[in-house]
């Protein structure tokens, strides 16, 4: 999955208009970034990139770019 595809999917998870996320956003500034979105992100990473992530790993991320790196999305 490309970075653009992943960001579009993440936009959907966060209920944002397509094309909103660019990668530099701070997670704390995203209104819909919550435990449910975290679970959806873990599933997205697993389903599309076969990457197994824990809540602890996700909790250490500060930006959308950090999440992309954890999910091993091609930059």
Domains of the chain in sequence order: 3-70 (1.10.1200.10)
Dihedrals phi, psi of 32, to nearest 5 degrees: -95, 10
| pLDDT score of 74 | 79
Q: Is 30 helix (H, G, I), strand (E, B) or coil?
A: coil
User: 20-71: per-residue pLDDT in tens?
Assistant: 999 999 999 999 999 999 999 999 999 988 999 998 999 999 999 999 999 9
Helix (H) or strand (E) holding 24: none
| pLDDT score of 75 | 67
């Amino acid at each position: 999955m490309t970075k653009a595809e992943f960001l579009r999917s993440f936009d959907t998870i966060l209920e944002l208009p397509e094309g909103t996320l660019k990668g530099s956003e701070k997670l704390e500034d995203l209104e819909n970034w919550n435990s449910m979105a975290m679970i959806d992100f873990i599933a997205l990473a697993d389903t599309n990139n076969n990457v197994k992530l824990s809540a602890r790993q996700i909790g250490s991320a500060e930006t959308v770019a950090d999440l992309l790196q954890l999910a091993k999305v091609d930059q």
